[in-house]
Structure 1
């Protein structure tokens, strides 16, 4: 009989059994989370202030009591290190970014909290400005959020100093490569808020700090300038979208590129000029000119590896090597022509003989600096007793004199051309 009553009661009241189980389980969970004796929640002034400030606080909305008010955020960059990749045209700045603003919900009376006038809070617990980089490098993910420890004073002034690396795009100017100076700008502002909601501006004193900056191996920082752009556009006459512009002026450390490109370019010019000074019939002259031409191709390849592949400007050193290669090729062709002239057996035309005599008897003889072939001079001495041989030697001498005249004129022209090219195209520090 009793068994039947128990069975009937269990069947009639299944909810009672479930409720008892839930209560029993909850009691065990609560007891498991209890702290041991002496480990109660601290209730000193700092903990009480922390609890009171964040009570019912929302970090998702601007910290103003009136939605029409503007949150003014002061920004200061303390630059530590920078990296400029000229090949990819990307510019990265590592800095401590100090930001300060007024949070109207984070103020208190110090007398009510043990005279505490400053408190530290984590940035993810309070509202923080989202300062975006507008010309950011799209290949690198960069969040406009930051995570750090911020300080708050009793008036509600919040100050955060996160360490942030900003990577942006910087179009290079390669005209003076490798002695080039680059101007790279970074543009910061609020991505969604208008200037009437979140107003970014600079600290009144020292908006940029470079006392702890360290130059990299390839670039040195000359100066940094800051400018606030009002952000007034024709599309939105009643709204503003201000931006903070930082311009970094960088100078390339050109000792390495100059040793690889600039100095060898001057050397191949000297090789070309020296080869022209040699005798017209000297085969070493032709070998040196061919070596100089090969050197031009080599340096063009080296410059192609060093200059940025997306650069819009052409380095003037590249134009110098190009024009110098054309001059060297012209010298090779003229050398081959002069070598063929010296081997002619036909008598020289009258105008060539007259030109040779005019230069030999006038001041023009000082322009012709190359000597006659010694073998031809010895032939001339041996031919004094032989009339036919004397006539043949005389014809050969006329052609050689004319070849030397043309060679001297070519040297003067090449020298002037290289002088102009060096003055225009060779960069200098």
Structure 2
């Protein structure tokens, strides 16, 4: 085959592709040409400023969508759309040269992007300071990227008012290596935090979000700044469930203990109820132990209430055993006990001693006195011991009632 024939055949096979390339170049839209011209000599490894002494100002806005808080592990996670805007001096053009195109879309990996790091991030989770998304680029070099990012940080819990506690979780953002004179983070002038599409996480309700820019001036570096963006999230626990298994049983245990002290000192059911109440305290403490951290920074005041209530119940059991022993004594009572018992029987003190007396004992005493029975003195002595025990029991009940009122006001948390 001669050279002319080979050239002809080659031209036939190449002609469609050559024609397609020529046609493609003819219809190459100006946006593609603009993109090609912008990134021909562009380097995304350096800050986008022509004067290296100038800082890149990055404006930040958080559109919070969802959050979760694990108070057992003390970790706080925020899912949000993070809008960031800055000026790239190397990505500018004249719209009239490209068909009046004023805005294009570019991929974040093609351009320089700010690396905003979370300083108090959870070290157990890998969180990169880079993001990958599609960004908007204006003809004056203004870049806007809105990636969806989940930030997980450490949040020290305060459980003193548990289960009606509130938590303040703070996240600190800034540049890990750049100074404020190189990359300057700041907020959008309007709506730095957007909550219009926010959805509360399980068991927690977001009350408010506060934002603050920290200048980052330190004594070690008087001529340099390291600014940070501070976001404080105030959360309130949805305590309907915990309150049903914690606060309400606490009140029930108190009523059970006080009701037991109202029974007669010789009643065995009294001792049984007090022992049951003490057992309920132990079960209650075990139940609370499953719901709170084992190594919290502070102690929930509801635990202090259960602790003191347990001590009062134990005192009630010991007093009951003592009084049951005294009511069975038949030896003569000391004069001051006899005097006090007589004073209570005949005076207004009988309205204070509300524990039920045994009417049969009083009847037997009266009959014995009328008939001159020799056992009348023994019966009177027994009644004196019973009266004295009832007086002690009444005093113990009043003291326990006042103590429980103080404990409820002091230690039972309220939903404010």
- TM-score range with shorter-chain normalisation? over 0.9
Of residues 328, 331, 336, the one that matches 2:321 is 336
Whole-Å separation in 1 of the counterparts to 2:46 and 2:194 = 31
Whole-Å separation in 2 of the counterparts to 1:131 and 1:317 = 41
Of residues 401, 405, 408, the one that matches 2:394 is 408
In structure 2, the residue matched to 1:389 is 375
SS at match of 2:388: helix
The equivalences for 1:39-58 within 5 A come to 40=24, 43-58=28-43
Of residues 64, 73, 77, the one that matches 1:92 is 77
Whole-Å separation in 2 of the counterparts to 1:150 and 1:320 = 56
Deviation of 1:378 (Å): 5.4
Cα deviation, 1:219-258, whole Å, max 9, x if unaligned, reads: 1111001000000001111100000000001111111111
Cα deviation, 1:241-294, whole Å, max 9, x if unaligned, reads: 000000001111111111111110010000000000000011110111011111
- Residues 386 and 360 from structure 1, CA distance in 2 versus in 1: closer, same or farther, beyond 3 angstroms? closer
In structure 2, the residue matched to 1:308 is 293
In structure 2, the residue matched to 1:163 is 148
Matched, 1:424 2:376: no
Deviation of 1:310 (Å): 3.5
Whole-Å separation in 2 of the counterparts to 1:35 and 1:375 = 122
Deviation of 1:386 (Å): 6.5
Matched, 1:113 2:114: no
The answer to whether the Cα contact below 8 Å between 2:263 and 2:356 also exists between their aligned partners in 1 is no
The answer to whether the Cα contact below 8 Å between 1:88 and 1:309 also exists between their aligned partners in 2 is no
Deviation of 1:389 (Å): 3.0
In structure 2, the residue matched to 1:24 is none
The answer to whether the Cα contact below 8 Å between 2:203 and 2:238 also exists between their aligned partners in 1 is yes
TM-score for both structures, normalised by structure 2 = 0.92
Cα deviation, 1:90-115, whole Å, max 9, x if unaligned, reads: 10000000000000011101111111
Whole-Å separation in 1 of the counterparts to 2:215 and 2:358 = 78
Runs of 5+ consecutive residues of structure 2 not aligned to the other structure? 1-12
Whole-Å separation in 1 of the counterparts to 2:19 and 2:271 = 100
Deviation of 1:395 (Å): 1.5
Runs of 5+ consecutive residues of structure 1 not aligned to the other structure? 1-30
Deviation of 1:374 (Å): 4.4
Of residues 320, 345, 348, the one that matches 1:360 is 345
SS at match of 1:388: coil
Whole-Å separation in 1 of the counterparts to 2:197 and 2:128 = 25
Deviation of 1:382 (Å): 6.0
Whole-Å separation in 1 of the counterparts to 2:350 and 2:222 = 80
CA RMSD of aligned residues (A): 1.8
The answer to whether the Cα contact below 8 Å between 1:88 and 1:310 also exists between their aligned partners in 2 is no
The equivalences for 1:175-190 within 5 A come to 175-190=160-175
SS at match of 1:306: coil
Whole-Å separation in 1 of the counterparts to 2:290 and 2:138 = 55
SS at match of 1:427: coil
Whole-Å separation in 2 of the counterparts to 1:35 and 1:321 = 86
SS at match of 1:397: helix
SS at match of 2:231: strand
Cα deviation, 1:153-184, whole Å, max 9, x if unaligned, reads: 10000000000000000111111111111111
